[in-house]
Structure 1
């Protein structure tokens, strides 16, 4: 009986040992999970993306710290209540962390900067040395023009520049534009909006919203670009394109503003400035360039093989110089588009080599009712792609387009290549 009692005592100790090990395992697991969460949180807060920009629209802030692509909005209640008597109901107070983008800097004596552009020597720079930003309404006297001068002017653009050293962010605020010309002859108004590009790399492209039926649009939009070192600011140039939205055709170009940042000192706070809007410098060459096309008509299979080979001498489509061309190919049957293709984009070159082949099925016998259109476009992220040149081949086409089409009809199953001059898009 004694050995049996000893064995029972050993079995009674087993649940106690298992419970102790389970408790230690649970504590270890919880500690490990908490440590991993802390490490992820710290790494996520310290992570700085190579490039990001924040768009502030009338006080609504999209915070860059939120990396899960969800928008977070915030308004400073105290400052809003403080300024409610001085601000209209529809306007909101700009709010970022520590309110460093709202102009809340210590009072410093700012130096007046001369215009970096000799053509715009009359433009004025204003350094902010107070907490509240200066409203463009206070600058109306500087832009008062006579009625005769306003006919030749395209208006004035008001903006502010700032650099946030804590977040290594470059801040551009588009305040308003005044005295824009009317692009709609019926209503004698415009639907203006602004596209902004940071040159020379053209990586950062943004645009404002469209304001309907106004010649004095107040945009009040702020764009914050992250990952731009302060040492590189002097090498950059801001290009503003002022356009009027057109629902039924291509948007009308009102003018442009080019601001080289060389010589502009942003270390002492926000700087307000205004620039006269000038006519767009299209920089057209003697022609729109040339396109090398190879065609082959297979009468047995009733197919048309199109090879987009090369483009050369393409004009400069914007102030940065080179274009990013690609070719869009449209096949028409009795003026109705039945198929479309496009090539890949070739970066920063006026002489592009495509070497891309497309095969189109012809819905009818012969090529009498068939025509093919080539559109050479400049790829532009964030906005509508601009047409550099156009080429049409068909039986009714004139010049080399009609000759090339006649040859492929007379000599089927033969690949025939020709250079063609592009016409205006």
Structure 2
């Protein structure tokens, strides 16, 4: 019986030992968890926010410049201490703690830089030569403008141009815009962004992000275009379109800036430039061009055959003097659209040859309540396609439209072609 008693005493001591080890393990686990949380919190506070988004658009290879975690927007020096001293106040700096409840950065009123500030800024940010840079005289002249002239002003766009001979790439940096007009009458502000196109081919189209509620947006976005030889730079033209984002309707056009690159030498390095924003060049309503249409009405099958043949003398849709036209065909019955077709896009031509045939089924006997509409549009990937001209053929149409419709009704099963003048779209 004695050995049995001793074993029971040993078993009674086991829970005490287990409890002691469990307590030490719990204290160690809690301490380790608290240490990990502190480390994560400190790493998040010291972590540099993401650089800037990478533009990925069709036909263009664009990469962000200076991908260095130690660098932030508007800085080109090697150390953070130098960045804090050199960085201008109007440059974009991602400080997440300064954002408001909507995630936007608070608006800061840019200060007018003195001549000494401009001298200190130019050699550090742009060690290369500058062209059309800010001068104290220009600032004085801007301050002395009358109120009427200020109302007509649409602001100033600041940007830089550079050609990288090692990568054979053309680099455009859209820095900022100042003094934009307010497009929202209620808040008296704008939501600006910029679309840029390289003319005349319009292959390279990019746009910046939208900056909310500001009249002095600081974009500081760099676009790199590869595959452009330096010998072709002189033949290109930069077209900047400044717009204000509207969530509920079409975006408002503030103005445009057109920069022909002929005569601009980029062999010596980066060039800082600024241009006044001007009103968009609105085309005149006269001279919309002509469209050659062939129609044939089949009374036996109750079908209407439409052939879009040619277009000529189309007006220019942008500063390049060329359009990318295509034709949209809409069939109406009793003023209600029942069918639609469209041709292929013809690139960079004011005189397009389509030669495309469409067959429409007519839901009624005869062509009394039938009308057909032709819309000539300019294809644009970066924005909404713009209507170049319009043509409507029906029984009540005037001029050549009414005569053409009358002939196909009198002579069914015969293909009849006519040139028609396009009206304002």
- Normalising by structure 2, what TM-score? 0.66
Superposed, 1:409-420 pairs within 5 Å as 409-420=409-420
Q: Structure 2 CA distance, aligned partners of 1:217 and 1:110?
A: 10
Q: Structure 2 CA distance, aligned partners of 1:150 and 1:165?
A: 41
Q: Which is worse superposed, 64-73 or 10-19? A: 10-19
Provide closer, same or farther for how the CA distance between residues 402 and 114 of structure 1 changes in structure 2, counting only shifts above 3 A: farther
| Structure (1 or 2) with the larger CA radius of gyration | 2
Q: Which is worse superposed, 95-104 or 341-350? A: 95-104
Provide closer, same or farther for how the CA distance between residues 197 and 406 of structure 1 changes in structure 2, counting only shifts above 3 A: same
**Shift of the alpha carbon at 1:130?**
12
**Shift of the alpha carbon at 1:402?**
3.1
Q: Is residue 330–residue 339 contact of structure 1 (8 Å, CA) maintained in 2?
A: yes
Provide closer, same or farther for how the CA distance between residues 139 and 389 of structure 1 changes in structure 2, counting only shifts above 3 A: same
Q: Structure 2 CA distance, aligned partners of 1:202 and 1:37?
A: 52
**Shift of the alpha carbon at 1:132?**
19
**Shift of the alpha carbon at 1:378?**
1.4
The count of aligned residue pairs is 425
**Shift of the alpha carbon at 1:60?**
17
Q: Is residue 303–residue 361 contact of structure 1 (8 Å, CA) maintained in 2?
A: yes
Q: Which is worse superposed, 383-392 or 227-236? A: 227-236
Provide closer, same or farther for how the CA distance between residues 89 and 350 of structure 1 changes in structure 2, counting only shifts above 3 A: closer
Provide closer, same or farther for how the CA distance between residues 353 and 87 of structure 1 changes in structure 2, counting only shifts above 3 A: same
Q: Is residue 196–residue 239 contact of structure 1 (8 Å, CA) maintained in 2?
A: yes
Q: Is residue 76–residue 125 contact of structure 2 (8 Å, CA) maintained in 1?
A: no
Q: Name the counterpart of 1:104.
A: 104
**Shift of the alpha carbon at 1:358?**
0.2
Q: Name the counterpart of 1:360.
A: 360
Q: Which is worse superposed, 230-239 or 12-21? A: 12-21
Q: Structure 2 CA distance, aligned partners of 1:18 and 1:226?
A: 70
Q: Structure 1 CA distance, aligned partners of 2:104 and 2:208?
A: 25
Q: Is residue 170–residue 226 contact of structure 2 (8 Å, CA) maintained in 1?
A: yes
Q: Structure 2 CA distance, aligned partners of 1:23 and 1:188?
A: 65
Q: Is residue 190–residue 244 contact of structure 1 (8 Å, CA) maintained in 2?
A: yes
1:133 is paired with a residue whose SS is coil
Q: Is residue 51–residue 228 contact of structure 1 (8 Å, CA) maintained in 2?
A: no
Q: Is residue 120–residue 275 contact of structure 1 (8 Å, CA) maintained in 2?
A: no
Q: Name the counterpart of 2:258.
A: 258
Superposed, 1:306-385 pairs within 5 Å as 306-385=306-385
Q: Which runs of 5+ in 2 are unaligned?
A: none
Q: Structure 1 CA distance, aligned partners of 2:3 and 2:102?
A: 85
Provide closer, same or farther for how the CA distance between residues 3 and 305 of structure 1 changes in structure 2, counting only shifts above 3 A: farther
Provide closer, same or farther for how the CA distance between residues 318 and 413 of structure 1 changes in structure 2, counting only shifts above 3 A: same
Q: Structure 2 CA distance, aligned partners of 1:45 and 1:82?
A: 21
Q: Which is worse superposed, 323-332 or 228-237? A: 228-237
Q: Is residue 56–residue 62 contact of structure 1 (8 Å, CA) maintained in 2?
A: yes
Q: Which is worse superposed, 49-58 or 253-262? A: 49-58
Q: Which runs of 5+ in 1 are unaligned?
A: none
**Shift of the alpha carbon at 1:185?**
4.8
**Any idea what the Cα deviations from partners look like across 1:41-80, whole Å, max 9, x if unmatched?**
9999999999999749999996489999999999999856
**Shift of the alpha carbon at 1:14?**
64
**Any idea what the Cα deviations from partners look like across 1:355-376, whole Å, max 9, x if unmatched?**
1100012233333333221111
- Normalising by structure 1, what TM-score? 0.66
Q: Structure 2 CA distance, aligned partners of 1:68 and 1:194?
A: 26
Q: Which is worse superposed, 218-227 or 115-124? A: 115-124
**Any idea what the Cα deviations from partners look like across 1:87-145, whole Å, max 9, x if unmatched?**
79998779999999999999999999999999999999986579999999998996774
Provide closer, same or farther for how the CA distance between residues 3 and 241 of structure 1 changes in structure 2, counting only shifts above 3 A: same
1:131 is paired with a residue whose SS is coil
1:26 is paired with a residue whose SS is helix
**Shift of the alpha carbon at 1:165?**
2.7
2:84 is paired with a residue whose SS is coil
Provide closer, same or farther for how the CA distance between residues 52 and 280 of structure 1 changes in structure 2, counting only shifts above 3 A: same
**Shift of the alpha carbon at 1:276?**
0.6
**Shift of the alpha carbon at 1:423?**
1.2
Q: Is residue 54–residue 224 contact of structure 1 (8 Å, CA) maintained in 2?
A: no
Q: Structure 2 CA distance, aligned partners of 1:46 and 1:167?
A: 34
* 1:190 to 2:195 alignment: no
Q: Is residue 86–residue 124 contact of structure 2 (8 Å, CA) maintained in 1?
A: no
**Shift of the alpha carbon at 1:233?**
2.5
Q: Is residue 65–residue 222 contact of structure 2 (8 Å, CA) maintained in 1?
A: no
